[in-house]
């Protein structure tokens, strides 16, 4: 592979525009050992990538466990919110349904108070009107004086 | 200087706040009949099942819904009546918002009406009545105070059908104004 092509591919690689096949070509070149001196800095990079591929961990991650734990936390957080919503809705419905009903004891008391209130209002209304009655007399007086003094 | 202003302001404010409580002392007296109905009771009343009695009940209920308080004190004892008169006078003097509406003296009966202005000409926030009757047996003095959003026309209409001539005039008052 000629140097120019390698340099082109390298530039493309550094820009992230290479395909997998092109990257493999670069890898082969840098593995081969016959690397141009000004490209030797990149050799380590590609060597690292090559070896990194073959790395194997000794620890096998336990996938099943990590799935469950977030779920419980998730449940706790949103479950609390959901439970709160349900309780709140239940209470509002309960209150709404009961707000217009009053117990018979309250009904009796309210009726009694209502009667008394009616009496009181009637009383003041009567006093009010009978006092104003005197104003009517004054109006008659005015009318008659107007007749005389016309 | 600021302290003096602050203290006077607080003193004045508390006076208007507690002004209605001036008559509460009559509640405990033996020869005074008192009735006090509060807004919570009015709310209960508006929930009454209306299917029974009066067709006029609806009118009353409409009025009652807008009320805050009704206080009535009646006494048949002339000594207590004099006490009431004194309290009324001092109450009227202390409360600058109450203005005289009507004052009638007839046959030994003295009736005074005072009102506290409401949102417009027809509404009052307080209707206060003091009736003195030296000749009556069981109500020598009556103090009545209604607070809330009161329509004066509605009040007079309640007993308008009792053929009291004055009610006609009152009904025409706002017509003449307009």
Look at residue B163 in the predicted model and tell me its pLDDT.
53
Instruction: Give the predicted TM-score (pTM) of the model.
Output: 0.56
Question: What gap in Å lies between CA A136 and CA A117, rounded to an integer?
Answer: 28
Element (H, E) at B169: helix B165-177
**Predicted ipTM of the assembly:** 0.71
Does residue B154 lie within any of the structural domains? yes
Rounded CA-CA distance A6/A14 in Å is 12
Report the share of chain A in percent with pLDDT over 70: 75
Interface A-B: count of C-beta contacts within 8 A: 104
CA distance B134 to B28: 23
- The full 3-state SS of B2-60, as one line of letters, equals HHHHHHHHHHHHHHHHHHHHHHHHHHHCCCEEEEEEEHHHHHHHHCCCCCCCCCCHHHH
Classify residue B9: in a domain, yes or no.
no
Residue B178 has pLDDT above 50, yes or no: no
The distance from CA B80 to its chain's CA centroid, rounded to whole angstroms, is 19
* Long-range pairs for B83-92: beta carbons < 8 A, 24 or more residues apart: B83/B26, B84/B26, B84/B130, B84/B141, B84/B143, B85/B130, B85/B132, B85/B141, B87/B22, B87/B23, B87/B25, B87/B26, B87/B143, B88/B112, B88/B130, B88/B143, B90/B22, B91/B19, B91/B22, B91/B23, B92/B128
Contact A31, A46 (CB under 8 A): yes
Q: Is the pLDDT of residue A42 over 90?
A: no
Provide the domain limits for residue B168.
22-177
Q: Do A121 and B144 touch (CB under 8 A)?
A: no
Nearest CA in chain B to A126: B159
d(CA B154, CA B158): 6
Selecting from A118, A126, A135 the residue whose C-beta is nearest the C-beta of B60 gives A118
- The verdict on a CB contact (< 8 Å) between B44 and A102 is yes
Q: Is residue B86 in some structural domain?
A: yes
Assess if residue B3 is contained within a domain. no
Confidence of residue A87 (pLDDT cuts 50, 70, 90): very high
Which residues of chain A lie closer than 8 angstroms to B104, CB-CB? Answer: 131, 134
Question: Which pLDDT value is given to residue A146?
Answer: 74
Domain spans of chain A, in order of start: 3-54
Contact B102 A131 (CB under 8 A): yes
Give pLDDT tens digits for A88-142: 999 998 887 766 666 788 888 888 888 888 888 888 888 888 887 766 666 666 6
State the DSSP code for B120: S
Contact flag A124-B155 (C-beta cutoff 8 Å): yes
Domain tally, chain B: 1
**Which has the closest alpha carbon to B151: B176, B173, B166?**
B173
Number of neighbouring beta carbons within 10 Å of residue B168: 15
Summarised one tens digit per residue, pLDDT across range B65-96 is 888 999 999 998 888 888 889 999 999 888 88
User: Quick check: is B16 in a domain?
Assistant: no
Tokens coding A70: 């977030």
CA distance A64 to A43: 40
């Amino acid at each position: 592979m000629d140097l120019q092509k390698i340099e082109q591919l390298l530039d493309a690689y550094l820009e992230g525009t290479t395909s997998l096949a092109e990257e493999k070509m670069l890898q082969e070149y840098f593995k081969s050992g016959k690397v141009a001196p000004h490209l030797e800095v990149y050799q380590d990079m590609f060597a690292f990538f090559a070896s990194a591929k073959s790395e194997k961990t000794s620890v096998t991650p336990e996938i099943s466990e990590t799935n469950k734990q977030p779920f419980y936390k998730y449940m706790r957080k949103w479950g609390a919110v959901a439970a709160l919503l349900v309780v709140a809705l239940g209470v509002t419905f309960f209150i709404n349904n009961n707000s217009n009903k009053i117990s018979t004891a309250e009904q009796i008391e309210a009726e009694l108070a209502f009667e008394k209130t009616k009496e009181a209002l009637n009383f003041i209304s009567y006093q009010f009107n009978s006092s104003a009655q005197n104003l009517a007399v004054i109006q008659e007086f005015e009318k008659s004086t107007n007749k005389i003094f016309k | 200087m600021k302290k003096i202003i602050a203290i006077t302001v607080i003193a004045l404010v508390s006076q208007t706040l507690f002004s209605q409580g001036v008559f509460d002392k009559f509640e405990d007296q033996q020869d005074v009949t008192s009735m006090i109905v509060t807004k919570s009771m009015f709310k209960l009343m508006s929930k009454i099942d209306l299917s029974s009695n009066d067709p006029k009940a609806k009118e009353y209920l409409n009025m009652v819904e807008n009320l805050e308080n009704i206080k009535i004190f009646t006494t048949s004892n002339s000594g207590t009546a004099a006490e009431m008169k004194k309290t009324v006078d001092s109450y009227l003097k202390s409360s600058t918002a109450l203005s005289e509406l009507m004052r009638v003296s007839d046959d030994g009966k003295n009736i005074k009406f005072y009102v506290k202005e409401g949102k417009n000409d027809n509404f009052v926030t307080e209707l206060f009545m003091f009736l003195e009757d030296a000749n009556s047996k069981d109500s020598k003095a009556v103090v009545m105070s209604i607070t809330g959003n009161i329509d004066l026309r509605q009040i007079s209409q309640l007993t308008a059908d009792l053929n009291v001539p004055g009610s006609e005039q009152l009904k025409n008052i706002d017509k003449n104004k307009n």
